[in-house]
Structure 1
Amino acid sequence: MSCYENLIMKTQMNYSRHYSTYASGGTAVVLSKQKPLSYEEQIQEFVRRVQEAECIVVGGASGLSAAGGGDFYYSDTPSFREHFGKFADKYGFKGAFSGMMHRFSTRNEHWGYVATFLNTTQNAPIREPYLDLDRILQGKDFHILTTNQDTQFVKIYPEEKVSEIQGDHRFFQCSQCCQDETWDAVQPVADMIAAMGEGTMVPDELIPRCPHCGAEMFPWVRGYGNFLQGKKYEEEYEKISKYIQKNKDRKILLIELGVGRMTPMFIQEPFWELTNSLKDAYYISVNSEYQFLPEFIEDKGIAILGDIGTVLKDLRKAKEESAFV
């Protein structure tokens, strides 16, 4: 098991012990009582830390994509209606995830919805917060860790710079995990979308099946079923673990973007542990809802409460302006 997996195992146990606290939007960790810097001071400190860092790890979660318009997962937003309107009208769904959990009367319609879901993220343009982040990271040694499955980061960076520890919408797996393999999902999804047209069902012959056992395939993602934690999964963890091990003695900046209360154990709390244990680590979080800075790292981090898109845009502008000072 990789070092980052070990961190997650530890924080998952903490999450399980204090589930009710997390479910209500809190944290079991004692938070700092220090008064935060003003927003302007936080941005300047953020710029300084980026400039001084010898390496950076970015932890990108759902709030990052939501800030750029990928906000169709949990509620009946305009973007949800744009991409899933025909299913919303027919079934009354109030968010993309509710459709993924729905028991359709036929597998043809189930796959019509799954194909629509995957097509939406596979073909989404790179969202503005990601482009701003890319400009902020220019010239730096960095690695990306993400729980997002929407392929935004791998549209910008080579695979070796991104650890997708919760899966990726570009791949299928066997729903029964009969083999430790993943397959391309992009072309099958395109074929299903073309065949479905304005309807909501795909033909029998396009329902993707495992070439080994004949069972239906399934998106290679955690959250909906039997997530395959095999070779590819371990490779994703190995990338982030090797990066941290290689750079543990350098001045490392840990940037957390958009972690919610459902999955603090994958990015947020491991970042807190790393900040505490690594001598020259510093932690910065940006979140539109929560301003959590643990007491035990209050002198090694800041937590910025604000819209992630706005913060990254302000940070990018401040960083570019500072280059000319």
Structure 2
Amino acid sequence: MRNELEERIMSARKILDEAQIVIIGAGAGLSTAAGLDFGGERFEKLMPEYGKRYGYDNMYAGDFYPYETLEEYWAFESKVILLNRYELEALPLYKKIYNIVKNRNFFVMTTNVERQFVKSGFHEMQVFATQGDYSFFQCSKGCHKKLYYNEDKIREMVDETKDCKIPTDLIPKCPICEEQMKINLRADQYFIEDQAWDESSKRYNEYVSDVGLKKVVYFEFGVGYNTPGIIRYPFEQMTYRNPNAHLIRFNKDYPDGAKENVNKTISFTEDISIILEKIYPER
């Protein structure tokens, strides 16, 4: 006799096997589950000098620290981007998700900015990273809509960092208005949605609109209530409106779905990697 967890696993497998479409929604909880931890032992191992100097214990806190100089801020920020965007290989959990859906009709919506989906095999044309990308600089005042790929500049900043500061001449400046550059992350009204972002948004929205009444699984990973209007609430609404839709939600803190979807939602608080391996051990 199967236990309750086994029933959920078997139900998720059946729903996925029968689905005509799989739409993935991924938040920060997926990257954390995959091992991309911005605090704890990883921070202590990779950025001990920053914790010792400024007193914070994770990379998120470092983003909001009131650095006295831009030289200090960019020393920290460049190290974070190097570690989480350029030096980190495709993580096994992301590759597992890709292996599950790679031969399916699918699309990805993510608020994550580390580009792990593309690294893991997903084609850029099937991924909409709505909150930006660590890979690009933009004008901090949004004076024009061009983005600038930053790998060489980031590596140079890290290489030249001394005493938690970069040289002043490495501070990135906008080539148009000469204001400071910043990373292309949605944090204020100056976030740049360039042509590539517009095209990606259009592809995703057209894809979602074309679902109709097809059998669709909304495959949601680590999406909480930081920005629920981007993935969590829309997934619940689309599940409700389509009688042939189901929501599979992985969330250790907020697993419950809308009460209207109680018979169409399968939730897991358990470890994502372990559950996916049990659902599809052969992939």
TM superposition score normalised by structure 1 = 0.81
Describe the SS at the equivalent of 1:136: helix
Q: CA deviation at 1:144?
A: 0.8
Q: Aligned partners of 2:271 and 2:216: how far apart in 1?
A: 24
- What is the 5 A alignment of 1:143-222? 143-156=107-120, 157-196=122-161, 199-222=163-186
Q: 51, 64, 68: which is aligned to 2:34?
A: 68
Q: Retained in 2: the 8 A contact 1:69–1:79?
A: no
* 1:38 equivalent in alignment to 2:4: yes
Q: CA deviation at 1:181?
A: 1.4
* 1:137 equivalent in alignment to 2:107: no
* 1:235 equivalent in alignment to 2:199: yes
Q: CA deviation at 1:224?
A: 6.7
After superposing the two structures, state which structure 1 stretch, 174-183 or 237-246, moved more: 237-246
Describe the SS at the equivalent of 1:247: coil
Q: 120, 134, 138: which is aligned to 2:83?
A: 120
What is the identity percentage for the equivalent residue pairs of Structure 1 and Structure 2?
27
Describe the SS at the equivalent of 2:164: coil
Q: Aligned partners of 1:234 and 1:94: how far apart in 2?
A: 36
Describe the SS at the equivalent of 2:12: helix
Describe the SS at the equivalent of 2:210: helix
1:249 is aligned to 213
Q: CA deviation at 1:213?
A: 0.7
Opposite residue 65 of structure 1, the aligned amino acid is S
Q: 59, 69, 89: which is aligned to 2:25?
A: 59
Q: Retained in 1: the 8 A contact 2:252–2:270?
A: yes
Q: Retained in 2: the 8 A contact 1:170–1:186?
A: yes
Q: Retained in 1: the 8 A contact 2:21–2:216?
A: yes
Opposite residue 103 of structure 1, the aligned amino acid is P
TM superposition score normalised by structure 2 = 0.93
> For 1:210-262, what per-residue CA distance to the aligned partner results, in whole angstroms no more than 9, with x for missing partners?
11111111100123773224544433322210111233332111011011221
Opposite residue 131 of structure 1, the aligned amino acid is K
Q: Retained in 2: the 8 A contact 1:136–1:315?
A: no
Q: Aligned partners of 2:189 and 2:209: how far apart in 1?
A: 32
* 1:282 equivalent in alignment to 2:216: no
Q: Retained in 2: the 8 A contact 1:289–1:306?
A: no
Q: CA deviation at 1:50?
A: 1.3
Q: Aligned partners of 1:134 and 1:93: how far apart in 2?
A: 35
2:53 is aligned to 90
After superposing the two structures, state which structure 1 stretch, 51-60 or 198-207, moved more: 198-207
Q: Aligned partners of 2:218 and 2:275: how far apart in 1?
A: 16
Q: Aligned partners of 1:153 and 1:239: how far apart in 2?
A: 17
Q: Retained in 2: the 8 A contact 1:209–1:215?
A: yes
Q: Aligned partners of 2:241 and 2:43: how far apart in 1?
A: 41
* Ranges in structure 2 where 5+ consecutive residues have no aligned partner: none
Q: Retained in 1: the 8 A contact 2:44–2:57?
A: no
Q: CA deviation at 1:138?
A: 3.1
Provide the aligned length of Structure 1 versus Structure 2: 279
Q: Retained in 1: the 8 A contact 2:224–2:232?
A: no
1:223 is aligned to 187
Opposite residue 263 of structure 1, the aligned amino acid is T
* 1:271 equivalent in alignment to 2:230: no
Q: Aligned partners of 1:151 and 1:189: how far apart in 2?
A: 16
Describe the SS at the equivalent of 2:113: coil
Q: Retained in 2: the 8 A contact 1:172–1:183?
A: yes
After superposing the two structures, state which structure 1 stretch, 76-85 or 159-168, moved more: 76-85
Q: Retained in 1: the 8 A contact 2:137–2:150?
A: yes
CA gap of 1:289–1:236, structure 2 versus 1, over 3 A, is same
2:259 is aligned to 295
After superposing the two structures, state which structure 1 stretch, 301-310 or 269-278, moved more: 301-310
* Ranges in structure 1 where 5+ consecutive residues have no aligned partner: 1-36
Q: Retained in 1: the 8 A contact 2:26–2:222?
A: yes
Structure 1 vs Structure 2 CA RMSD: 1.8
* 1:50 equivalent in alignment to 2:23: no
After superposing the two structures, state which structure 1 stretch, 86-95 or 218-227, moved more: 218-227
* 1:314 equivalent in alignment to 2:262: no
Q: CA deviation at 1:280?
A: 2.0
